[in-house]
Amino acid sequence: MRAFIFPGQGSQAVGMGKALADASPVARAVFEEVDDSLGRKLFALMSEGPADDLLLTENAQPAIMTNAIATLRVMEQEGGIRLADKADFVAGHSLGEYTALCAAGALGLATTARLLRLRGRAMQAAVPVGKGAMAALLGADLAKAQAIAAAAVAAVLEDTGETLVCTVANDNDPSQVVLSGHRPAIERAIALAKDMDAKRAVLLPVSAPFHCPLMQPAADAMEAALAEADLRAPLIPVYCNVDAVAIADPDQVRAALVRQVTGMVRWRESVLAMAGAGTDRFVEFGGKVLAPMVKRISPDVAATSVVTMDDIGEMLKTL
Protein backbone atom coordinates (compact mmCIF):
# COMPACT_ATOMS: atom_id res chain seq x y z
CA MET A 1 0.00 0.00 0.00
CA ARG A 2 1.09 3.54 -0.72
CA ALA A 3 0.58 6.96 0.89
CA PHE A 4 1.18 10.31 -0.80
CA ILE A 5 2.33 12.91 1.73
CA PHE A 6 2.79 16.68 1.60
CA PRO A 7 5.17 18.98 3.52
CA GLY A 8 4.41 21.86 5.86
CA GLN A 9 5.90 25.26 6.58
CA GLY A 10 9.67 25.48 6.50
CA SER A 11 10.08 23.76 3.14
CA GLN A 12 9.82 27.03 1.19
CA ALA A 13 12.86 28.44 -0.64
CA VAL A 14 13.42 31.06 -3.30
CA GLY A 15 13.52 29.31 -6.68
CA MET A 16 10.95 26.68 -5.70
CA GLY A 17 8.94 25.46 -8.66
CA LYS A 18 10.92 27.39 -11.28
CA ALA A 19 12.65 24.43 -12.91
CA LEU A 20 9.39 22.52 -12.90
CA ALA A 21 7.55 25.40 -14.58
CA ASP A 22 10.33 25.81 -17.16
CA ALA A 23 10.06 22.12 -18.04
CA SER A 24 6.30 21.52 -17.94
CA PRO A 25 3.23 23.41 -19.16
CA VAL A 26 1.22 21.41 -16.64
CA ALA A 27 3.19 22.95 -13.78
CA ARG A 28 2.94 26.42 -15.33
CA ALA A 29 -0.84 26.07 -15.47
CA VAL A 30 -0.95 25.27 -11.73
CA PHE A 31 1.13 28.32 -10.83
CA GLU A 32 -0.96 30.55 -13.11
CA GLU A 33 -4.23 29.32 -11.61
CA VAL A 34 -3.04 30.12 -8.11
CA ASP A 35 -1.80 33.56 -9.17
CA ASP A 36 -5.22 34.27 -10.67
CA SER A 37 -7.07 32.99 -7.61
CA LEU A 38 -5.04 35.18 -5.24
CA GLY A 39 -4.90 38.20 -7.53
CA ARG A 40 -1.14 38.47 -7.13
CA LYS A 41 2.11 37.12 -8.61
CA LEU A 42 2.87 34.44 -6.03
CA PHE A 43 4.90 32.39 -8.50
CA ALA A 44 7.20 35.37 -9.18
CA LEU A 45 7.79 35.61 -5.44
CA MET A 46 8.50 31.88 -5.28
CA SER A 47 10.89 32.09 -8.22
CA GLU A 48 12.70 35.33 -7.50
CA GLY A 49 12.06 36.28 -3.86
CA PRO A 50 12.82 38.29 -1.84
CA ALA A 51 13.24 35.54 0.72
CA ASP A 52 11.85 37.64 3.58
CA ASP A 53 8.56 38.08 1.73
CA LEU A 54 8.34 34.38 0.87
CA LEU A 55 8.93 33.55 4.54
CA LEU A 56 5.79 35.47 5.55
CA THR A 57 3.21 32.91 6.65
CA GLU A 58 0.49 34.17 4.31
CA ASN A 59 2.86 33.65 1.36
CA ALA A 60 4.73 30.55 2.48
CA GLN A 61 1.61 28.46 3.08
CA PRO A 62 0.02 28.81 -0.39
CA ALA A 63 3.47 28.66 -2.02
CA ILE A 64 4.35 25.32 -0.44
CA MET A 65 0.96 23.90 -1.35
CA THR A 66 1.17 25.13 -4.95
CA ASN A 67 4.64 23.68 -5.48
CA ALA A 68 3.56 20.27 -4.18
CA ILE A 69 0.36 20.19 -6.26
CA ALA A 70 2.30 21.23 -9.38
CA THR A 71 4.72 18.35 -8.80
CA LEU A 72 1.89 15.87 -8.33
CA ARG A 73 -0.05 17.09 -11.38
CA VAL A 74 2.97 16.87 -13.64
CA MET A 75 3.38 13.26 -12.58
CA GLU A 76 -0.31 12.52 -13.03
CA GLN A 77 -0.84 14.22 -16.38
CA GLU A 78 2.47 13.53 -18.07
CA GLY A 79 2.54 9.99 -16.67
CA GLY A 80 -1.11 9.29 -17.49
CA ILE A 81 -1.99 8.20 -13.95
CA ARG A 82 -4.56 9.15 -11.28
CA LEU A 83 -3.80 9.64 -7.60
CA ALA A 84 -6.82 7.55 -6.63
CA ASP A 85 -5.39 4.59 -8.57
CA LYS A 86 -1.86 4.85 -7.17
CA ALA A 87 -2.34 5.89 -3.53
CA ASP A 88 -4.35 4.36 -0.70
CA PHE A 89 -4.04 7.32 1.68
CA VAL A 90 -2.95 10.94 1.69
CA ALA A 91 -1.64 13.02 4.58
CA GLY A 92 0.15 16.30 5.11
CA HIS A 93 2.05 18.06 7.87
CA SER A 94 0.08 21.06 9.18
CA LEU A 95 -0.69 23.17 6.07
CA GLY A 96 0.21 20.05 4.08
CA GLU A 97 -3.13 18.59 5.17
CA TYR A 98 -4.81 21.17 2.92
CA THR A 99 -2.50 20.09 0.11
CA ALA A 100 -3.46 16.48 0.71
CA LEU A 101 -7.14 17.37 0.53
CA CYS A 102 -6.57 19.29 -2.71
CA ALA A 103 -4.62 16.36 -4.16
CA ALA A 104 -7.47 14.00 -3.27
CA GLY A 105 -10.12 16.20 -4.87
CA ALA A 106 -11.79 17.42 -1.68
CA LEU A 107 -10.78 21.04 -2.29
CA GLY A 108 -10.26 22.87 -5.56
CA LEU A 109 -6.85 24.40 -6.17
CA ALA A 110 -8.08 28.01 -6.11
CA THR A 111 -10.09 27.39 -2.93
CA THR A 112 -7.09 25.76 -1.25
CA ALA A 113 -4.84 28.70 -2.11
CA ARG A 114 -7.32 31.24 -0.73
CA LEU A 115 -7.90 29.22 2.44
CA LEU A 116 -4.17 28.95 3.08
CA ARG A 117 -3.60 32.66 2.51
CA LEU A 118 -6.35 33.37 5.05
CA ARG A 119 -4.95 30.75 7.42
CA GLY A 120 -1.51 32.32 7.23
CA ARG A 121 -2.83 35.82 7.85
CA ALA A 122 -5.06 34.67 10.72
CA MET A 123 -2.26 32.72 12.40
CA GLN A 124 0.09 35.69 12.11
CA ALA A 125 -2.51 38.10 13.51
CA ALA A 126 -3.55 35.86 16.43
CA VAL A 127 -0.55 36.77 18.62
CA PRO A 128 1.40 40.07 18.58
CA VAL A 129 4.89 39.70 17.12
CA GLY A 130 7.40 38.91 19.85
CA LYS A 131 4.84 37.58 22.34
CA GLY A 132 5.04 33.97 21.19
CA ALA A 133 7.76 31.54 20.16
CA MET A 134 8.46 27.96 19.15
CA ALA A 135 11.37 25.65 19.95
CA ALA A 136 12.51 22.32 18.58
CA LEU A 137 13.60 19.70 21.09
CA LEU A 138 16.07 17.26 19.55
CA GLY A 139 16.71 13.92 21.18
CA ALA A 140 13.39 14.13 23.01
CA ASP A 141 10.29 12.01 22.54
CA LEU A 142 6.72 13.14 23.21
CA ALA A 143 6.66 12.21 26.91
CA LYS A 144 9.95 14.00 27.59
CA ALA A 145 8.80 17.08 25.66
CA GLN A 146 5.55 17.20 27.62
CA ALA A 147 7.50 17.00 30.87
CA ILE A 148 9.80 19.85 29.78
CA ALA A 149 6.81 21.99 28.78
CA ALA A 150 5.09 21.38 32.11
CA ALA A 151 8.26 22.19 34.03
CA ALA A 152 8.68 25.44 32.10
CA VAL A 153 5.12 26.55 32.87
CA ALA A 154 5.59 25.70 36.55
CA ALA A 155 8.91 27.57 36.74
CA VAL A 156 7.48 30.73 35.16
CA LEU A 157 4.45 30.58 37.47
CA GLU A 158 6.72 30.30 40.52
CA ASP A 159 8.93 33.18 39.38
CA THR A 160 6.31 35.62 38.12
CA GLY A 161 2.89 34.40 39.19
CA GLU A 162 1.84 34.23 35.55
CA THR A 163 0.29 31.14 33.99
CA LEU A 164 1.69 31.02 30.48
CA VAL A 165 1.24 28.61 27.58
CA CYS A 166 3.94 26.11 26.68
CA THR A 167 2.73 22.98 24.96
CA VAL A 168 3.69 20.43 22.31
CA ALA A 169 2.89 21.73 18.82
CA ASN A 170 4.42 19.03 16.60
CA ASP A 171 5.20 15.43 17.47
CA ASN A 172 7.34 14.95 14.39
CA ASP A 173 9.30 11.75 15.00
CA PRO A 174 10.83 9.83 17.91
CA SER A 175 13.71 12.28 18.19
CA GLN A 176 12.12 15.64 17.31
CA VAL A 177 9.27 17.41 19.07
CA VAL A 178 8.35 21.10 18.77
CA LEU A 179 7.03 23.29 21.59
CA SER A 180 4.89 26.41 21.15
CA GLY A 181 3.54 29.15 23.41
CA HIS A 182 4.40 32.39 25.16
CA ARG A 183 8.02 33.43 24.58
CA PRO A 184 9.07 33.52 28.28
CA ALA A 185 7.78 29.97 28.78
CA ILE A 186 9.46 28.70 25.61
CA GLU A 187 12.74 30.32 26.63
CA ARG A 188 12.45 28.64 30.03
CA ALA A 189 11.81 25.30 28.33
CA ILE A 190 14.99 25.75 26.28
CA ALA A 191 16.94 26.47 29.46
CA LEU A 192 15.52 23.39 31.18
CA ALA A 193 15.80 21.00 28.25
CA LYS A 194 19.38 19.84 28.64
CA ASP A 195 19.03 19.20 32.37
CA MET A 196 15.94 17.13 31.54
CA ASP A 197 17.90 14.91 29.12
CA ALA A 198 17.01 16.46 25.78
CA LYS A 199 20.02 16.44 23.46
CA ARG A 200 19.43 19.99 22.24
CA ALA A 201 16.79 22.75 22.22
CA VAL A 202 16.65 25.33 19.42
CA LEU A 203 14.52 28.46 19.14
CA LEU A 204 12.82 28.37 15.74
CA PRO A 205 12.82 31.36 13.35
CA VAL A 206 9.02 31.67 13.17
CA SER A 207 6.81 34.72 13.46
CA ALA A 208 4.05 33.22 15.62
CA PRO A 209 3.44 30.32 18.06
CA PHE A 210 1.59 27.86 15.82
CA HIS A 211 -0.46 24.85 16.99
CA CYS A 212 -1.10 25.99 20.54
CA PRO A 213 -4.09 27.52 22.39
CA LEU A 214 -2.87 31.05 21.59
CA MET A 215 -4.02 30.39 18.00
CA GLN A 216 -7.72 30.32 18.97
CA PRO A 217 -8.55 33.55 17.04
CA ALA A 218 -7.11 31.90 13.91
CA ALA A 219 -9.15 28.76 14.57
CA ASP A 220 -12.29 30.91 14.76
CA ALA A 221 -11.42 32.56 11.44
CA MET A 222 -10.83 29.19 9.76
CA GLU A 223 -14.08 27.78 11.16
CA ALA A 224 -16.00 30.60 9.48
CA ALA A 225 -14.10 30.24 6.20
CA LEU A 226 -14.37 26.44 6.05
CA ALA A 227 -18.11 26.61 6.72
CA GLU A 228 -18.46 28.49 3.43
CA ALA A 229 -15.87 26.53 1.45
CA ASP A 230 -16.79 23.97 -1.20
CA LEU A 231 -15.34 20.90 0.47
CA ARG A 232 -16.21 17.45 -0.85
CA ALA A 233 -15.38 13.93 0.26
CA PRO A 234 -11.78 13.08 -0.74
CA LEU A 235 -11.28 10.38 -3.38
CA ILE A 236 -9.18 8.45 -0.86
CA PRO A 237 -9.01 8.81 2.95
CA VAL A 238 -6.86 11.51 4.49
CA TYR A 239 -5.06 10.97 7.79
CA CYS A 240 -5.78 14.08 9.83
CA ASN A 241 -3.11 15.67 12.02
CA VAL A 242 -5.09 16.16 15.22
CA ASP A 243 -6.46 12.63 15.55
CA ALA A 244 -4.00 10.55 13.48
CA VAL A 245 -6.92 8.65 11.94
CA ALA A 246 -8.27 8.34 8.40
CA ILE A 247 -11.32 10.46 7.63
CA ALA A 248 -13.35 11.12 4.50
CA ASP A 249 -16.62 12.75 5.64
CA PRO A 250 -16.57 16.48 4.73
CA ASP A 251 -17.97 17.56 8.11
CA GLN A 252 -15.28 15.57 9.90
CA VAL A 253 -12.65 17.11 7.65
CA ARG A 254 -13.86 20.65 8.40
CA ALA A 255 -13.86 20.02 12.15
CA ALA A 256 -10.38 18.47 12.04
CA LEU A 257 -8.95 21.42 10.12
CA VAL A 258 -10.36 23.85 12.68
CA ARG A 259 -8.99 21.87 15.63
CA GLN A 260 -5.65 21.54 13.87
CA VAL A 261 -4.97 25.29 14.24
CA THR A 262 -4.68 25.06 18.03
CA GLY A 263 -3.98 21.33 18.32
CA MET A 264 -0.88 19.19 18.16
CA VAL A 265 0.32 17.89 14.80
CA ARG A 266 0.47 14.16 15.51
CA TRP A 267 2.72 13.31 12.59
CA ARG A 268 4.58 10.45 14.26
CA GLU A 269 1.31 8.78 15.21
CA SER A 270 -0.15 9.40 11.75
CA VAL A 271 2.76 7.62 10.07
CA LEU A 272 2.54 4.73 12.52
CA ALA A 273 -1.21 4.49 11.88
CA MET A 274 -0.72 4.41 8.11
CA ALA A 275 2.01 1.80 8.45
CA GLY A 276 -0.25 -0.19 10.76
CA ALA A 277 -2.97 -0.07 8.13
CA GLY A 278 -0.58 -1.72 5.66
CA THR A 279 1.21 1.25 4.06
CA ASP A 280 4.73 0.19 3.15
CA ARG A 281 5.61 3.03 0.78
CA PHE A 282 5.43 6.78 1.38
CA VAL A 283 5.94 9.34 -1.40
CA GLU A 284 6.51 13.00 -0.45
CA PHE A 285 5.69 15.61 -3.10
CA GLY A 286 7.33 19.04 -3.27
CA GLY A 287 9.76 18.68 -0.38
CA LYS A 288 12.47 16.61 1.28
CA VAL A 289 11.47 16.98 4.92
CA LEU A 290 8.84 14.33 5.59
CA ALA A 291 10.46 11.31 3.94
CA PRO A 292 13.42 11.28 6.39
CA MET A 293 10.97 11.68 9.28
CA VAL A 294 8.98 8.70 8.01
CA LYS A 295 12.12 6.55 8.00
CA ARG A 296 12.93 7.56 11.57
CA ILE A 297 9.38 6.70 12.63
CA SER A 298 9.02 3.44 10.71
CA PRO A 299 12.42 2.20 9.48
CA ASP A 300 11.01 -0.77 7.57
CA VAL A 301 8.93 1.26 5.09
CA ALA A 302 10.15 2.89 1.87
CA ALA A 303 10.06 6.69 1.76
CA THR A 304 10.87 8.82 -1.28
CA SER A 305 10.84 12.55 -2.06
CA VAL A 306 9.64 13.79 -5.46
CA VAL A 307 10.75 17.34 -6.27
CA THR A 308 12.33 17.52 -9.74
CA MET A 309 11.41 16.33 -13.23
CA ASP A 310 14.04 13.60 -12.84
CA ASP A 311 12.39 12.52 -9.58
CA ILE A 312 9.04 12.37 -11.36
CA GLY A 313 10.50 10.21 -14.13
CA GLU A 314 12.03 7.80 -11.64
CA MET A 315 8.83 7.59 -9.64
CA LEU A 316 6.73 6.84 -12.73
CA LYS A 317 8.91 3.79 -13.38
CA THR A 318 7.86 2.30 -10.07
CA LEU A 319 4.13 3.08 -9.98
Q: What are 168-178's pLDDT values in tens digits?
A: 999 999 999 99
Q: What is the pLDDT of residue 253?
A: 98
Q: What is the pLDDT of residue 226?
A: 98
Low-confidence stretches of the chain (pLDDT beneath 50): none
Domain boundaries for CATH 3.40.366.10 within the chain = 2-126+214-316
- Starting at the edge strand found earlier in the chain, the sheet holding 89-92 runs 246-247, 238-239, 89-92, 2-6, 281-285, 302-306
Q: What is the pLDDT of residue 24?
A: 97
Domain boundaries for CATH 3.30.70.250 within the chain = 137-206
Average pLDDT of the residues of the chain = 96
Q: What is the pLDDT of residue 55?
A: 87
Q: What is the pTM of this model?
A: 0.96
SS3 16: coil
What are the catalytic residues?
Answer: 94, 211
Q: What is the pLDDT of residue 212?
A: 98
What is the distance between the alpha carbons of residues 32 and 53, in angstroms, rounded to a whole number? Answer: 19
What is the distance between the alpha carbons of residues 79 and 32, in angstroms, rounded to a whole number? Answer: 21
Q: What is the pLDDT of residue 262?
A: 98
- Report cis status (omega within 30 of 0) of the bond before 50: yes
Q: What is the pLDDT of residue 10?
A: 84
Q: What is the CATH number of domain 2-126+214-316?
A: 3.40.366.10
Q: Which CATH number fits domain 137-206: 3.30.43.10, 3.30.70.250, 3.30.210.10, 3.90.79.10?
A: 3.30.70.250
Q: What is the pLDDT of residue 85?
A: 95
What is the distance between the alpha carbons of residues 182 and 197, in angstroms, rounded to a whole number? Answer: 22
Report the percent of the chain where pLDDT is more than 90: 95
